[in-house]
Chains A and B, each alone.
Chain A
Amino acid sequence: MTYKDFVVATICNLSESAFEELKRLLLGEYISFSIIDHTDVTIDILAEKVCDYFGTLEIKTDKAFDKLIESYLSDLDSIVGPHIAKTPQAKKGDKTPVAVPRSRRYYEKAMAIKGVKKPSLPQMIDYSRIMMCLYAAAIQNEGKPIDNFNYAAECLLPANIVDALKNEKVSIAFPPFKKKRFDAKALYGDDMCTLILSILILCSIISEEVEGETDHE
């Protein structure tokens, strides 16, 4: 997948409200305009700017977009994975089948997608949807392992999820220290790319949210 295809598929089809949310999350912090006022930024303008970002990223990291996607998939796994409740061990002599926690079943489905070489955009969206919903449940559960979660897209509040991601920390071996995983100062790095991709995909998911007919009335 080229970054242009990705940007067209995610940004260019956003609903109005999802686009406003995207601007709120991206502009000022990660993407800036020197001359155009933020309120005058249209979908096409933002799409161009984001394309420029990915273009620069490819050069600076010397990695093709596909490789950046791989990092994105792994990063999400390392953030969300530890929160998923493990399948309990079968007790000795107990013949009752072990119930796999619902969260783990969905997590394993996501892992199957992650194992695909060069996932398509729909596969990326499926993966992200599952992982983000699991992450949203983990946030609500204050970091404790989750055995169930809300699959509905309406539980994904981009602002909450992005805030939580921004607070994610990674441990450094030496000196023993925990630093922020997503450092805005290192804008053209793998980690920040993951954050930007997360924001784009989140907005794309909420834009496509299937509303019931009764909601239109």
Chain B
Amino acid sequence: MSDAVVIETLEQMKKFLNEKGVLEIVIRNQKKQIDTILKVIIDNLPETQEKDLIEKVIHTLNEKVHLIKRKLKLLGNVAQLEKIGMLLNGLNLCSTCAGFATMYAKLDAMSAEINQQLYQLQKTAKQTQDVQNEYEFNKVLAEHTDMLDSQRKQQPYSEGKMRELVDREYNVLTLLISSFQKDISGDRSALIFSIFSMLAMFTVSLRSFDELYYFNNRRALEKDVWHLSHEKWMSVYDTLSSEWFIEKLQDYGTFETTLSTQGVDVYYTSLLEQVNDLRSEIEDNQALLIAIGDAELFRKYKEMSAKEVADSIESAYREAGRDLDEETVTAAYQNAMRQAAMA
């Protein structure tokens, strides 16, 4: 299991699953265009065999989606410590309740540290209004969970409520980035993790908001069919691909971890790619909305993509369970699909 650095241990994950024990992961297709929701079950598997199988499945899926073995090896311990795999699956983990629960737990544990850094930043900027409360990091985490939960219950947020969430996540993200830029003292590993997690959360929210906004308003708006703040929101992806940000990531990898020069390359290029991937999420979705045009059709398209995901899980199970007998693999897979369907 030395290569499996994506998710910590199943034990830890179990604490944060919902009552159905579901973890939902979203996967992009080959063209990285549409992501689909993949539901994987982490059950109380008494057999070590099955438990190993599940861990291998997650590992396989993550290998397919992101880091290849060689890169993982280069990152080694640092990947484990920095939770790189989790970051690179950020979008997946931030788009569903059960998935986000995993992120939430990690982020919540850091929130005291992060709030401290944000507070220091605001002191430095000599802000007189009491903005700290509004932008408190853990409040945004709770709101994001609430948004996902509302979607799950089929009572999604209204356009207005969604926009407020997008704005708040954008503001917190901007503050986190400023903190990073100004070298506010504190745990920089936590800060980097928070930035990329918040970016994933923000991407999920913005994508949902775009869908709502488009279908609600396109008859009224002939051109410029996106919210007026859209460009401002998208600028955060530019900031995170800017030279100064990349240099700071390189500096962090070089001076604050034990990574070799090649390891640092993997570290910062993976994160940079993540920024580009998340930006594409929004842009591709916008193109898709315009191309499909119809809300019902759009919903059907998303369902179709979900089928691709199911096939993807199945092949991941087969690949991971190569050493096990057919029955065990099939049982584990069917169990997963059954519980996922119930989720």
- A-B complex is real: yes
State the A residues within 8 Å of B (CB): 102, 105-106, 109, 122, 125-126, 129-130, 148, 151-153, 208-210, 212-214
Stretch of B229-237, B250-258, B304-312 contacting A (4+ beta carbons < 8 Å): B250-258
A126 engages B260 (CB within 8 Å)? yes
Residue of B nearest to A148 (CB): B247
A125 touches B71 (CB 8 A): no
Q: B266 interface residue, CB < 8 Å from A?
A: yes
Alpha-carbon gap, A198 to B338, bound state (A): 59
Contact B260 A109 (CB under 8 A): no
**When the two chains form their complex, are residues A126 and B273 in contact, meaning their CB atoms are under 8 A apart?**
no
A210 is contacted by which of B251, B255, B266 (Cβ under 8 Å)? Answer: B266
How many contacts A-B (CB < 8 Å)?
Answer: 37
A212-B261 CB under 8 A given contacts A105-B255, A109-B254: no
**9 interchain pairs, CB-CB under 8 A:** A102-B247, A105-B255, A122-B260, A125-B260, A151-B254, A152-B265, A208-B262, A210-B71, A210-B269
The residues in B between 238 and 252 inclusive whose CB is less than 8 angstroms from any CB of A are 247, 250-251
User: Is B150 close to A, CB under 8 A?
Assistant: no
| Residues of chain A within 8 A of B71, CB atoms compared | 210
By a CB distance below 8 angstroms, the chain B residues around A152 are 265
Q: Which residues of A contact B29 (CB under 8 A)?
A: none
Q: Which of B256-299 contact A (CB under 8 A)?
A: 260-262, 264-266, 269, 272-273, 276
Interface residue tally on B, bucketed by range: 10 to 19
A122 to B259, CA, bound (A): 11
Residues B262 and A151 in contact, CB atoms below 8 Å apart: no
Beyond A102-B251, A151-B264, A209-B265: 4 further Cβ-contacts under 8 Å? A125-B260, A210-B269, A213-B273, A214-B273
B241 CB, nearest partner CB in chain A, Å: 12
| A125 & B262 in contact (Cβ 8 Å cutoff) | yes
User: 1/0 contact trace for B154-185 toward A, CB 8 Å?
Assistant: 00000000000000000000000000000000
Contact of B262 among A102, A106, A210, A213 (CB under 8 A): A210
Q: Which 9 A-B pairs have the closest CB atoms?
A: A129-B261, A210-B265, A126-B261, A151-B250, A212-B273, A210-B269, A210-B266, A122-B260, A212-B269
Which residues of the other chain, A, contact B269 by a CB distance below 8 angstroms? 210, 212
Chain B residues with CB under 8 A of A125:
260-262
Q: Which residue of A lies closest to B266 (CB)?
A: A210
How far does the Cβ of B270 sit from chain A's closest Cβ, in whole Å? 8
Task: Check if A106 sits within 8 Å of B273, measured CB to CB.
Answer: no
Measured CB to CB, the nearest residue on chain B to A213 is B273
A212 to B71, CA, bound (A): 11
Q: Which of B66, B250, B261 has the most CB of A within 10 A?
A: B261
Instruction: Tell me, in angstroms, the Cα distance from A213 to B273 when the chains sit together.
Output: 8
Of the candidates A105, A130, A213, the one whose C-beta lies within 8 Å of that of B261 is A130
Chain A: minimal CB distance from B111 (Å): 29
The answer to whether B265 touches A153, judged by C-beta atoms less than 8 angstroms apart, is: yes
- CA–CA, A129 and B247, complex, Å: 16
What separation, in Å, do the CA atoms of A102 and B262 have in the docked complex?
A: 19
